Structure 1
Amino acid sequence: MRAVVAAWLRRALWWAALVCSGGISRQGRLPRGGCVVVANHSSHADTAALLAALDARHAPLIGAAADYWFATPWRRRVCRHLAAGFPVRRSGGGLGDLLTRAGELRAGRAVVLFPEGTRGRDGELGEFHRGALLLAERAGVPVVPVGIAGTDRLLPKGGRLRPALVRVRIGRPLYGAVSADRARTAVAELAGEAAARPAERDSAVRRRVAAVAASRWGLPPAFAWAFAEALSWPLMPELLLALACAAAPRAALRLSLAALAGTLAGGLLALQLAGAGARLPAPLTTARMHAEATRQLTVEGAAAVGHQPWNGVPFKVYAAAAGRAHIPPGDFVAAAAAARSVRTLSVGLGFAALGVLGRRLRRLYPLYLVLLGGGFTAGLALIVTAWR
Structure 2
Amino acid sequence: MRAPAPSRVHSLLRRALWWSVLTLTGGVERRGHLPRGGCVVVANHSSHADTAALLAGLDARHTPAIGAAADYWFSSPWRSRVCRRLAAGFPVRRKGGGLDDLLSMSDELRSGRAVVLFPEGTRGDGEVGSFHRGALLLAERAGVPVVPVGIAGTNRLLPKHGRLRSALVRIRIGDPLPASSTPEEARAAVAALHQRTNAESLRDSVVRRRVAAVAASRRGLALGFVWAGAEALSWPLMPELLLAVACVAAPRAALKLSLTALAGSLAGSLLAIQLASSGVELPRPLTTARMHTEVAAQIATEGARAVRHQPWNGIPFKVYAAEAGRAKVPVTDWLAEAATARGTRTLTVGLAFAAFGLLMRRWRRLYPGYLMLLGPAFTAGLTLVVLSWR
Q: TM-score range by the shorter chain?
A: over 0.9
Paired with 2:93 and 2:74, the residues of 1 have a C-alpha distance of 10
The yes-or-no answer on 1:252 pairing with 2:266 is no
Encode CA deviations 1:30-87: one digit per residue, 9 max, x unaligned.
Answer: 1222221111112222111111100112221111112222334554343233222222
CA distance in 2, matches of 1:7, 1:217: 48
Alignment correspondent of 1:35: 39
Choose which of 278, 281, 296 in structure 1 pairs with 2:280.
Answer: 278
Alignment correspondent of 2:379: 377
Task: Name the SS of the counterpart of 2:90 in structure 1.
Answer: strand
Please, which of 43, 49, 53 is the counterpart of residue 45 of structure 1?
Answer: 49
**CA 1:360–1:109 in structure 2 vs 1: closer, same or farther (change >3 Å)?**
same
Distance between the aligned counterparts of 1:378 and 1:6, measured in 2? 44
Letter paired with 1:207: R
Deviations 1:222-281 (A, max 9, x none): 122112211221110001101100100111122112212222222233223323333232
Offset of residue 362 of structure 1: 2.0
- Confirm or deny that 1:204 pairs with 2:206: yes
Measured in 1, the distance between the counterparts of 2:78 and 2:387 equals 59
| Structure 1 position 357, deviation (Å) | 2.2
Residue number in structure 1 paired with 2:190? 187
> Which amino acid in 2 is paired with 1:58?
H
Secondary structure at 1:218 match in 2: helix
* Equivalent residue, structure 2, for 1:4: 8
Letter in 1 for 2:370: Y
- Aligned match of 1:151: 154
- Inter-partner Cα distance in structure 1 for 2:76 and 2:283: 65
After TM superposition, the structure 1 = structure 2 runs for residues 224-373 of structure 1, keeping only pairs within 5 Å, are 224-373=226-375
Correspondence 1:82-231 to 2 at 5 A: 82-121=86-125, 123-197=126-200, 199-231=201-233
Give the secondary-structure state (helix, strand or coil) at the position aligned to 1:64: strand
Deviation at 1:295, TM superposition (A): 1.3
In the other structure, the counterpart of 2:22 is: 18
- Percent of paired sites with the same residue: 72
Q: Which amino acid aligns with 1:49?
A: A
Q: Give unmatched runs, 5+ long, in structure 2.
A: none
Segment drifting more, 20-29 vs 274-283 = 274-283
| C-alpha distance 329-219 of structure 1, shift in aligned 2 (>3 A) | same
Secondary structure of the residue aligned to 1:167 is strand
Would the aligned equivalents of 2:231 and 2:268 in 1 still touch at CA under 8 Å? yes
Q: Report SS of the residue matched to 1:289.
A: helix
| Counterparts of 1:286 and 1:120, CA distance in 2 | 64
2:221 touches 2:260 (CA, 8 Å); kept in 1?
Answer: yes
Distance 1:70 1:273 in 2: 68
For the residues of structure 2 that align with 1:343 and 1:84, how far apart are their CA atoms? 41
Asked if structure 1 preserves the Cα contact closer than 8 Å seen for 2:168 and 2:362, the reply is no
Greater CA deviation, 17-26 or 155-164? 155-164
Task: Number of aligned residue pairs: give it.
Answer: 386
TM-score by length of 2: 0.92
Q: Contact conserved, 2:136 with 2:179, CA < 8 A, in 1?
A: no
SS across alignment from 2:219: coil
Amino acid aligned to 2:187: R
- The residue type equivalent to 1:165 in the other structure is L
RMSD: 2.0
Unmatched 5+ residue regions in structure 1? none
User: What CA distance in whole angstroms lies between the structure 1 residues aligned with 2:61 and 2:337?
Assistant: 51
Partner letter of residue 48 of structure 1?
A
Q: Equivalent residue of 1:118, what SS? A: coil
Partners of 1:243 and 1:263 lie apart in 2 by: 18
Structure 1's consecutive aligned runs of 4 or more residues displaced over 4 angstroms after TM superposition are none
1:37-76 matches, within 5 Å, as: 37-76=41-80
| d(CA) in 1 for partners of 2:82, 2:281 | 61
In the alignment, the residues of structure 1 paired with residue 8 and residue 339 of structure 2 have an alpha-carbon distance, to the nearest angstrom, of 46
Q: Deviations over 1:269-326 (max 9, x none)?
A: 3223323333232222111111111112223333322221222211110111122223
Q: Which amino acid aligns with 2:339?
A: A
Between 112-121 and 14-23, the greater mean CA deviation after superposition: 14-23
Q: Is the 8 A contact 2:38 2:114 kept in 1?
A: yes
Structure 2 CA distance, aligned partners of 1:361 and 1:90?
Answer: 41
Q: TM-score, normalised by structure 1?
A: 0.92
The code of the aligned residue for 2:43 comes to A
